[in-house]
Each structure stands twice: as C-alpha cells, then as structure tokens.
Amino acid sequence: DAGVIQSPRHEVTEMGQEVTLRCKPISGHNSLFWYRQTMMRGLELLIYFNNNVPIDDSGMPEDRFSAKMPNASFSTLKIQPSEPRDSAVYFCASSLVENWVYNEQFFGPGTRLTVL
Amino acid sequence: SQQGEEDPQALSIQEGENATMNCSYKTSINNLQWYRQNSGRGLVHLILIRSNEREKHSGRLRVTLDTSKKSSSLLITASRAADTASYFCATGSAYNFNKFYFGSGTKLNVKP
C-alpha cells in the first residue's frame, strides 16, 4: 500500500491567492482527517470525515477554509483567500473505523504551505 | 481543553539509557495513542491503548495508562540515536466519536 498521499508537498503562494491541498487516503479506510501543525499552536485537528461525510469541522479556523470529500479516495482542503498566518504544515490522515471502534491514524507526509 | 499534555517538553539522554515521557489529559477518553514524528516528516503511530487496558508493550516500547489519574507514560528502553524525534500523545474522546486531541509533544534527543 502506498500510504496516505498528499500533494503538493510544498506550496509557496502570495497572500490573497487560492490554495488547494489534496489527499488520497489509504484504500479501505473510512475516516479522513485534516490537521495543521505550527510551532505556536502545535497539531490542530481542522476537520474529519466519516464515510465521506464531514462529522466535525469545529477546528476550521474561519470561512476562508473549506474541505470536501467527493468520494472515498479523495479529499481537498481549500484556503481562499490565503493569508500569511495560514503558513503551516498541513497533514492528512486516514483511519479504519469498525463498529465504532477507534483505530490508529495513518498520516501523510504533509504539505508545507508558505504564504508570502 | 481535552488535549493531552506531554511532560517533559524536551528530554536529552545518552544512547542506551531509558526514556520516559508522560501525558496528562482532562476528560474521559476512549483510548490514548502515542505517535512519533521525525523532523520534517509526518506522524507515525506507535501504540494504541484502550481505556480498559493498563499496560501495553511493543518491542522496546512500554505504555501505561492510569485512568484514575488521567495520565499515561511512554517508556523507551535501551534508546538509540534513531529514536531522536518528537513524541505525541493523542487522546480519543469518549464523547465525540473519532475525535482526537494531540498534545504539544516531547522532543527527545538521544546522543550517540
């Protein structure tokens, strides 16, 4: 298995531009998570999906952030418009949830976003 | 906050020594997980311990969980330079299905 795949690995953009981060979870996993990691705030859960449905988006910082999961094998996190304070490493993780039993999360390599 | 908080924030030891990291949390959990993150990389799952378990082992790793004290510890025995990384605990909420809260991590440096 290729693991969780994220693209791009690095993104440098200018303030005000739209940024789209992509994630392909591990095949067969039914839960997907988006995290953001910064030195100041650590690792923050932004949103998670179960069976392609957003379950909790309370971690999404503001309306500029949106996430979609159109099918079981693809998710996007979009920032529009981007701001310098959005600079961070964004991780996608997936997990298999069976019978309401928690299991480990598998993390992707992350996307390092720099907003100038 | 339901976040697990690791202690110490940083730990420096010599190769061959044992490393112990602690995690405290505030609300009831379903499970607690430990992850490792090497610099510039994603997180790697180490161990999951459920709320009805007290101890778990995996190779050189030993995790304990004390739900009465709302705390967990991760012990790495006979540490190696390759164990140098940040270690995070993540608490799985007993109230909010599948929602995890990560602590700020312990940065472990194992000197060769």
Cα–Cα distance, A47 to A16 (Å, whole number): 22
What is the chain A residue with the closest CA to B39?
A: A109
Provide the pLDDT for residue B103: 86
Provide the pLDDT for residue B7: 85
Cα–Cα distance, A44 to A47 (Å, whole number): 9
Interface contact flag, B42 A50, Cβ < 8 Å: no
Tens digits of residue pLDDT in A13-24: 999 999 999 999
Using CB atoms, pick whichever of A4, A42, A104 lies closest to residue B33. Answer: A104
Tens digits of residue pLDDT in A33-87: 999 999 888 888 999 999 999 988 888 988 999 999 999 999 999 999 999 999 9
**pLDDT confidence of B2, banded at 50, 70, 90?**
low
Q: Above 50 in pLDDT, residue B95?
A: yes
- Does the beta carbon of A53 lie under 8 angstroms from any beta carbon of chain B? no
- Does the beta carbon of A40 lie under 8 angstroms from any beta carbon of chain B? no
B-proximal residues of A, 72-111, CB under 8 Å: 91, 93, 95, 97, 100, 102-110
- Cα A80 to Cα A111, A115, B103: the distances in Å are 16, 12, 28
Provide the pLDDT for residue B30: 86
Contacts of A97 in chain B (CB under 8 A): 98
Which segments within chain B are labelled E, that is strand?
Answer: 5-7, 10-14, 19-24, 29-37, 43-50, 55-58, 61-66, 71-76, 85-93, 100-102, 106-111
Q: What is the DSSP letter of B93?
A: E
Provide the pLDDT for residue A97: 80
Tens digits of residue pLDDT in B46-73: 999 999 999 999 999 999 999 999 999 9
Interface contact flag, B41 A109, Cβ < 8 Å: yes
Interface contact flag, B103 A95, Cβ < 8 Å: no
Using CB atoms, pick whichever of A44, A50, A109 lies closest to residue B98. Answer: A50
What is the chain A residue with the closest CA to B104?
A: A42
Interface contact flag, A55 B92, Cβ < 8 Å: no
Using CB atoms, pick whichever of A48, A104, A106 lies closest to residue B98. Answer: A48
Provide the pLDDT for residue B85: 97
Contacts of A56 in chain B (CB under 8 A): 96, 99
Give the tokens for residue B69.
């004290």
Which residue bears the tokens 């311990």? B49
Q: Are A17 and A114 in contact (CB under 8 A)?
A: no
**pLDDT confidence of B1, banded at 50, 70, 90?**
very low
